[in-house]
Structure 1
Amino acid sequence: MTTTDPTPAATVDEAAISAYRRDGVVRVRNVLTTAEAARFRDAASEASGIATDYAGGSAIFNQYVNVWRDHDVLRELTLHPNLARVATALAGVPLRVWHDQLLIKPANNGAATEFHQDAPYWPHSSSRHSLSAWVALVDVPVEKGCMTFIPGSHRHQGLRAQDLADRDDLFRVAPDLRWEERLTIPLQAGDCTFHNAHLAHSATPNVTDDPRIAHVTIYIDAATTYTGGGHVVTDGLGLEPGATLNHPHFPAVGHDIR
């Protein structure tokens, strides 16, 4: 795998970009400073106590969506220039935010997030690229619920959505992926993985006594159009099928959205 160690203004070089486009994932260390990671960790813990859990009783994780819209500190993280800068370089196309989410695996949750792709869940078409910035706000070793990827699996597109609770579901729709190499990437607080929205990935159970706290900003091609399908972040917005997602809920990277 490719790892890059950026300066405080996070950047990636051409080798890292090429590796990302080949493998579908790259790790960027220290995308946040230690102090930033601690501040955002505390904000995430606070937000999780008042926000709606969209995972609704799942044993896999707690999921809090679009926290940037209600929490000023987490808004800074979702719109963090380091994340946007790296994501844009990796994607190679103009981007906008699709949504953010806190993904928290409670202590000793005992449930894996099984292999799946992200993109099949989204009501998108005409997208040239989409990717997620998965930021560890606490140290995430293997035993706390770190991510495992199948490099190159982002070339499998057009698959139906897969069941995150079924360890065999991805392999029913793409049997060849069962035998491909798997890459597990533990992270320290402030580190980030950027992964393609079609890259198959999973996460181990959290078998520690502390919660795993991760924040994800999902970026999509700014020219992506809406299919009209249902999704928690588009429902009720009155979007027209076939239109681009030119709406304040989906800010273009680098634009003032206040």
Structure 2
Amino acid sequence: MRPLPMRGVTPMIDEKSISAYRRDGVVRIRNIITPEEAARFRDAAVEESNRASDYAPGSAIFNQYVNVWQQNAVLRELTLHPRVAAAATALAGVPLKIWHDHLLIKPPHNGAATEFHQDAPYWPHSGSRQSLSAWIALVDVPVERGCMTFIPGSHDHQGLRAQDLADRDDLFRVAPDLQWEKRLTIPLKAGDCTFHNAYLAHSATPNLTDDPRIAHVTIYIDAETTYTGGGHVVTDGLGLPAGQSLEHANFPRVGMT
């Protein structure tokens, strides 16, 4: 499977940002897409949310729409955005594939936080050197609308079980030392992005405003990651062999060509 082209694309990442990301597990990149792009993708996200299946039905935390790039031509442009992919590759320092994308929408006054958790324990992966998410705000996301808080450095806690996003204390049951670590809250303007390591503990506040919080997330994984054979919504039914790399059109490579 050939990498998605990024020839001539400026990654928007300097050495300071790379060092901060590798130390803390998170970095904010301002204006990774333009305000005009953010508005266009926001409108497409709203349209898609009105017709796509919600993978978190009945949840007070958020509405989740997975692999929108496969259904919506406009959102496909964002999931495969060469500028975002170039930045992710520079931060990771290894060749990457797309694992999946999703829209995460917190409705107005949803009343529920996304509690501290890591992403990687949910995934049927093995042998990944580096995986990370590009969390792009398609609307302004101040603290009051559900921005994220991270525990810098917590990506060194690997091998933990999956944590319950609805349970405030669940992460701290399996890693009690993290409860006392410094926390970093990062509000975003529309078009801004945070990249965070798949093992970095993070949470998001409830949406206390009258408008929805709309975020688009592209998850990148090490191109050498192998599939454990475990269940997951994006691998179920694909017939992928356990112990081998994720060679399938649903997981396109990204990289310089």
TM-score (norm 1): 0.95
CA distance in 1, matches of 2:98, 2:54: 20
Number of the residue aligned with 1:24 = 25
Number of the residue aligned with 1:47 = 48
Per-residue deviation, 1:9:
4.0
1:210-221 equivalence runs, <5 A: 210-221=211-222
Per-residue deviation, 1:15:
1.1
1:202-255 C-alpha deviation (Å, 9 max, x unpaired): 000000000000000000000000000000000000000001001000000149
CA distance in 1, matches of 2:254, 2:170: 34
CA distance in 2, matches of 1:241, 1:203: 33
One-letter amino acid of the structure 1 residue matched with residue 134 of structure 2: A
One-letter amino acid of the structure 2 residue matched with residue 59 of structure 1: A
Per-residue deviation, 1:193:
0.0
One-letter amino acid of the structure 2 residue matched with residue 92 of structure 1: G
Number of the residue aligned with 2:58 = 57
Whether the 8 Å CA contact 1:143–1:207 is kept in 2: the answer is yes
Per-residue deviation, 1:56:
1.1
1:17-69 C-alpha deviation (Å, 9 max, x unpaired): 01100000000000010100000000000000011100111000000000000
After the TM superposition, list the runs of 4 or more consecutive aligned residues in structure 1 that deviate by more than 4 angstroms: none
Stretches of structure 2 that go unaligned for 5 or more consecutive residues are 1-8
Whether the 8 Å CA contact 2:104–2:215 is kept in 1: the answer is yes
One-letter amino acid of the structure 1 residue matched with residue 63 of structure 2: N
CA distance in 1, matches of 2:222, 2:145: 32
Per-residue deviation, 1:106:
0.1
One-letter amino acid of the structure 1 residue matched with residue 244 of structure 2: A
One-letter amino acid of the structure 1 residue matched with residue 137 of structure 2: A
Whether the 8 Å CA contact 2:89–2:255 is kept in 1: the answer is no
CA distance in 2, matches of 1:189, 1:52: 25
1:79-90 equivalence runs, <5 A: 79-90=80-91
1:89-133 C-alpha deviation (Å, 9 max, x unpaired): 000000000000000000000100000000000000010000000
Number of the residue aligned with 1:110 = 111
Stretches of structure 1 that go unaligned for 5 or more consecutive residues are 1-7
- What is the number of equivalent residue pairs in this alignment? 249
Whether the 8 Å CA contact 1:56–1:62 is kept in 2: the answer is yes
Number of the residue aligned with 2:3 = none
SS of structure 1 residue aligned to 2:104: strand
Whether the 8 Å CA contact 2:79–2:218 is kept in 1: the answer is yes
Number of the residue aligned with 2:173 = 172
CA distance in 1, matches of 2:200, 2:57: 25
SS of structure 2 residue aligned to 1:202: strand
Number of the residue aligned with 1:223 = 224
Whether the 8 Å CA contact 2:133–2:198 is kept in 1: the answer is yes
* Higher mean displacement: 138-147 or 8-17: 8-17
CA distance in 1, matches of 2:154, 2:144: 24
One-letter amino acid of the structure 2 residue matched with residue 42 of structure 1: D
Per-residue deviation, 1:11:
1.6
CA distance in 1, matches of 2:108, 2:74: 24
Whether the 8 Å CA contact 2:164–2:170 is kept in 1: the answer is yes
TM-score (norm 2): 0.95
Whether the 8 Å CA contact 1:10–1:31 is kept in 2: the answer is no
CA distance in 2, matches of 1:160, 1:152: 18
1:146-225 equivalence runs, <5 A: 146-225=147-226
CA 1:100 to 1:145, structure 2 compared with 1: closer, same or farther past 3 Å?
A: same
Whether the 8 Å CA contact 2:11–2:90 is kept in 1: the answer is no
Number of the residue aligned with 1:14 = 15
Number of the residue aligned with 2:122 = 121
One-letter amino acid of the structure 2 residue matched with residue 131 of structure 1: L
CA distance in 2, matches of 1:25, 1:14: 14
CA distance in 2, matches of 1:237, 1:139: 37
CA distance in 2, matches of 1:37, 1:171: 35
CA distance in 1, matches of 2:15, 2:223: 22
CA distance in 1, matches of 2:256, 2:26: 26
One-letter amino acid of the structure 1 residue matched with residue 60 of structure 2: A
